[in-house]
Amino acid sequence: MAPNPSPIRLQTRAVVRSLLAQTAMQLFAEKGFDETTVDEVAAAAGVSRRTLFNYFRTKEDLALSGLSEQGEVIAIRLADRPGDEDVWVSLRYAFEVLDEIEASPENRLEIVSMLFDNDSLRAGHAEKQARWTDLLAPLIEPRLPASESRGFEAKAIVGAAITCLQAATEEWLRVRGSTPLFDLYDTAVAAIQKSN
Amino acid sequence: MAPNPSPIRLQTRAVVRSLLAQTAMQLFAEKGFDETTVDEVAAAAGVSRRTLFNYFRTKEDLALSGLSEQGEVIAIRLADRPGDEDVWVSLRYAFEVLDEIEASPENRLEIVSMLFDNDSLRAGHAEKQARWTDLLAPLIEPRLPASESRGFEAKAIVGAAITCLQAATEEWLRVRGSTPLFDLYDTAVAAIQKSN
DNA sequence: GCACCGTCATGCACTTAGTGCAAGATGCTT
DNA sequence: AAGCATCTTGCACTAAGTGCATGACGGTGC
């Protein structure tokens, strides 16, 4: 099949992919996701429609590909945390990389708005973030006390943390960014851990 | 617009809708979601394709409409719980209605499998369940200690509980139902609340 | 019975997302 | 220069979803 996809090929491919996604996001931000056709994106990027689908499986992917990469960056950060640190603390530090990655603060609100405006986009967004679980859970599993269900518990914890991040993002959007995202995140985490 | 959608009209409409969804699920279970076209569903149900889209916005909705209803049932159950009960306990009881609602145990595995097989279906499933938050959070909000962010905290808690349910479902699917769903749910909730 | 009314079902034409295929361009390797 | 794999593109096709206009159905008032 692909024993040697060649080192340089992969790199150019990644660059092109990134450029295409950028062009797409530009248009999506200008006209909205639903109002922008794939043909328009292809034209704006100067490639054929067919080629575009060679780089992205779906139109949705054009808007959400960044999330997968973010997941990988978070995983790298998480792996750097000391092994004896509380997992919730580690996760919070790892997530905070989002504050550094994401585009300028003004654009951020705009982008998040777009992601929440469209049904399937919002669903895809949630799904992609949920898939971060698969990347992060293996990293915190070894930190949990031994148990037959440790792997599953790790997934639950990571899933809950991501949910807090999502809830925080939703609230952050609601208040139009007037409260820092990670303040909201902390509130959410505190709420679910309160023994009540 | 619709000052009087008429009482009887709404009821027949709901019945037809339910019948259509049933027919669709039948086919989806037989041939798989992707391999079944909307035209086939329409034909099997004895209506035109156009009519089908009159009852369901998308093909996805045909498979996921049940989830919205489940959310409403859960909300009703939750409203019945005593007001001074621990919110996590209340939520668990409310969720347990799923064990009563859902189809025969054999079919359940099959249906859940189908929902997790397809990307957009899995995403839609997660989204619909996440929307349960909007129904359930207002019910538990008054039980939380007063605070400016109580509404948001309620959403975080409900969101986390739903995430535990989703994680449990995923694990339940992985082990092919060999462990009861709510045993897994309890493990997940315990994991995220452990102070570590 | 008959004309009037809103609602619903349907057919038709159309746009858009996404796929399979085959031909041609590109660029590296020997 | 020839050979090779990969990338791009056009073309034809399937399927989801929408807008519109027409006609069927069912009840109301006369």
Do the chains contact at B152 and A195, CB–CB below 8 Å?
no
At a 7 A CB cut-off, the residues bordering strand C are A 36-39, 50, 53, 57-60; B 2, 4-6, 9, 13, 16, 46-48, 50-51, 54-55
Chain B positions in Cβ-Cβ contact with residue A92 (cut-off 8 Å) = none
Contact A126, A112 (CB under 8 A): no
Whether A81 and A113 share a structural domain? yes
| Environment class of B44 (CB within 10 Å of its CB; exposed 0-12, middle 13-18, buried 19+) | middle
Whether A83 and A98 share a structural domain? yes
User: Read out DSSP for chain A?
Assistant: --S---HHHHHHHHHHHHHHHHHHHHHHHHH-STTS-HHHHHHHHTS-HHHHHHH-SSHHHHHHHHHHHHHHHHHHHHHHS-TTS-HHHHHHHHHTHHHHHS--HHHHHHHHHHHHHSHHHHHHHHHHHHHHHHHHHHHHGGGSPP-TTHHHHHHHHHHHHHHHHHHHHHHHHHTTT-S-HHHHHHHHHHHHH---
CATH (domain of A18): 1.10.10.60
The answer to whether residue B2 sits within a structural domain is: no
Residues of chain B with pLDDT under 70: 1-6, 103, 195-196
Whether B14 and B87 share a structural domain? no
Lookup: tokens for B172: 């339940």
CA distance linking residue A70 with residue A57, whole number of Å = 19
Lookup: tokens for B153: 């905290």
Task: Give the model's pLDDT for residue A41.
Answer: 97
The answer to whether residue A127 sits within a structural domain is: yes
CATH (domain of B108): 1.10.357.10
The answer to whether residue B1 sits within a structural domain is: no
CA distance linking residue A151 with residue A129, whole number of Å = 19
Whether B97 and B185 share a structural domain? yes
Task: Give the model's pLDDT for residue B9.
Answer: 77
Do the chains contact at A167 and B187, CB–CB below 8 Å?
no
Whether A158 and A115 share a structural domain? yes
The answer to whether residue B73 sits within a structural domain is: yes
At a 7 A CB cut-off, the residues bordering strand D are A 2, 4-6, 9, 13, 16, 46-51, 54-55; B 36-39, 50, 53, 57-60
A118 pLDDT band (50/70/90 cuts)? very high
The answer to whether residue A1 sits within a structural domain is: no
Task: Give the model's pLDDT for residue A195.
Answer: 60
Q: Which of B35, B55, B75 is the last residue of a domain?
A: B55
Whether B47 and B31 share a structural domain? yes
Whether B140 and B162 share a structural domain? yes
Whether A88 and A174 share a structural domain? yes
Whether B167 and B105 share a structural domain? yes
Task: Give the model's pLDDT for residue A196.
Answer: 55
Task: Give the model's pLDDT for residue A150.
Answer: 96
Dihedrals phi, psi of A192, to nearest 5 degrees: -75, -15
Lookup: tokens for A180: 């820092």
Residue in chain B lying closest to A157 (CA): B192
The answer to whether residue B169 sits within a structural domain is: yes
A1 pLDDT band (50/70/90 cuts)? very low
Is 60 exceeded by the pLDDT of residue A2? no
Task: Give the model's pLDDT for residue A101.
Answer: 83
Whether B14 and B107 share a structural domain? no
Q: Among partner residues A86, A149, A167, which is closest to B155 by beta-carbon distance?
A: A167
From the list A190, A157, A183, the residue with the least C-alpha distance to A168 is: A183
Whether B48 and B67 share a structural domain? no
Per-residue exposure over B9-32, b if at least 16 CB sit within 10 Å of its own CB, e if not: eeeeeeeebeebbebbbebbbeee
Q: Among partner residues B127, B170, B195, which is closest to A123 by beta-carbon distance?
A: B127
Whether B33 and B79 share a structural domain? no
A4 pLDDT band (50/70/90 cuts)? low
C-alpha dist (Å) from residue A95 to A162, A176, B4, B23, B88: 9, 20, 50, 44, 26
Closest nt by CA–C1' to A62: C17
Chain B positions in Cβ-Cβ contact with residue A65 (cut-off 8 Å) = none
Do the chains contact at A123 and B124, CB–CB below 8 Å?
yes
From the list A185, A191, A189, A161, the residue with the least C-alpha distance to A99 is: A185
Taking phi over 0 as left and psi of -120 to 50 as alpha, with beta for the rest, B6 belongs to left
* A79-110: pLDDT as tens digits: 999 999 999 999 999 999 999 887 677 788 99
Q: Among partner residues A155, A192, A195, which is closest to B156 by beta-carbon distance?
A: A192
* Domain containing residue B156: 63-193
Contact B119, A58 (CB under 8 A): no
Mean pLDDT of A30-47: 96
> What would the 3-class secondary structure string for B22-42 be?
HHHHHHHHHHCCCCCCHHHHH
The answer to whether residue A147 sits within a structural domain is: yes
Q: Min CA distance, A138 vs chain B (Å)?
A: 15
- Identify the H or E element spanning B184: helix B181-193
The answer to whether residue B177 sits within a structural domain is: yes
Q: Min CA distance, A120 vs chain B (Å)?
A: 7
* A131-173: pLDDT as tens digits: 999 999 999 999 999 999 999 999 999 999 999 999 999 999 9
Per the structure, how many domains does chain B have?
A: 2
